[in-house]
Amino acid sequence: MAVNTIAYATLFQQALDKQAVAKLTSGWMDANAGQVIYNGGKEVKIPKISMDGLGDYDRSKGFADGAIVLEYETKTMTMDRGRTFMLDSMDVNESNFVANATNVMGQFQATKVVPEIDSFRYSKIASLAIEATVAEGSTSVLATGGNTITASNVLELLKADIAAIQDIVGGDVPLVISMSALISSILDQSDKFNKYICSCDFQKGDIQTKVQSIDNIPIIKVPSARLKTAYEFYDGKTSGQTAGGFKVATTAKNINWMITPLTAPIAVNKTDKVRIFDPDTNQDADAWKLDYRKYHDLWIMDEALKLCRINIKEALS
């Protein structure tokens, strides 16, 4: 039995990670973690490359010396989440354990885990962008706060944010627009939008889909409940929080959209531990026991953060 349960755990861990990326509206961000070093636990190492610019060529001394520095910055994932579940042995035997457990854990991940990770990621991007903009003394992010989005002004505001990014870096850096489904509906009602709209291929994990785009920038529709600037994440143990999960913070504001370079958000999402105990091993009950542990976090490096723009419904002070 021990060999079987180990095999089941490995199967679940791989399947759950793939399923999470596929269902996350922010699943495309996981691709940016490709060069991140992860050896289990909370810590990851993110590569940072710095190099010198051009210098004058001297006919007698030749090239000016330059340096390329590759460093790894260690980051600690702040989100360490988990749950344990029981499947009664009378309802599940070894022959149908995989089918039942896969269904249960798949539903758990789709309805509980995915919305939480999406919400955390978008709120963190918003917090980082607002903080960086204030620190730099810029109003590029704050300027759109407090605007009422209508069919007559939505395209103008959206293209202004795109132009602000392209003015810094040019038009060759691929961007992604993550937009509230409610705002997307308003955008669809814009008469001007029809002149710019087209569809494009968009890769998210192993899945390629066609999405709306503007100026060849894909628009990812996100449930508005996941586009807030702040959330409270329950510990699942204390009074009032035993059901776990999360809720919108009382201080939260509504995000209309955010525009980021495709490669800017570095999102790590790891099902670090899936443990399965058969009923004979489980000391607490005559049931299969499934322990699920998830580490996740998101970072944007300083230079990439300058190229992010968000539009928030409420005014920011």
Q: Which two tokens stand for residue 317?
A: 């002070």
Residue 173, judged by CB atoms within 10 A of its CB (0-12, 13-18, 19+), counts as middle
Confidence of residue 317 (pLDDT cuts 50, 70, 90): low
Q: Which two tokens stand for residue 38?
A: 């992860």
CB burial string 72-93: b at 16+ within 10 A, e below:
eeebebebebeeeebbebeebe
Q: How far apart are the first and last CA of the chain?
A: 60
Tell the residue number behind the tokens 């758990």, with chain if given.
108
Of 31, 68, 33, give the one whose Cα is nearest residue 49.
Answer: 68
The Cα-based distances of 93 to 15, 73, 90, 97 in angstroms read: 21, 47, 7, 6
Confidence of residue 134 (pLDDT cuts 50, 70, 90): very low
154: amino acid identity, one letter: V
Where exactly are the structural domains of the chain? 2-55+62-312
Averaged over 157-183, what is the pLDDT?
Answer: 91
Q: Which two tokens stand for residue 185?
A: 């509906």
For residue 227, the model assigns a pLDDT of 95
Cβ contacts of residue 28 below 8 Å, gap of 6+?
176, 202, 203, 204, 205, 220, 262
Q: Which two tokens stand for residue 153?
A: 């002004």
72-87 pLDDT, tens digit per residue, is 888 888 999 988 888 8
2-55+62-312 CATH: 3.90.1690
**Residue bearing the bigger pLDDT, 308 or 1:** 308
For residue 15, the model assigns a pLDDT of 67
Q: Which two tokens stand for residue 78?
A: 């702040």
DSSP structure string for 90-101? TT--HHHHHHHH
Cβ contacts of residue 189 below 8 Å, gap of 6+?
151
Cβ contacts of residue 240 below 8 Å, gap of 6+?
none
pLDDT at 220 over 80: yes
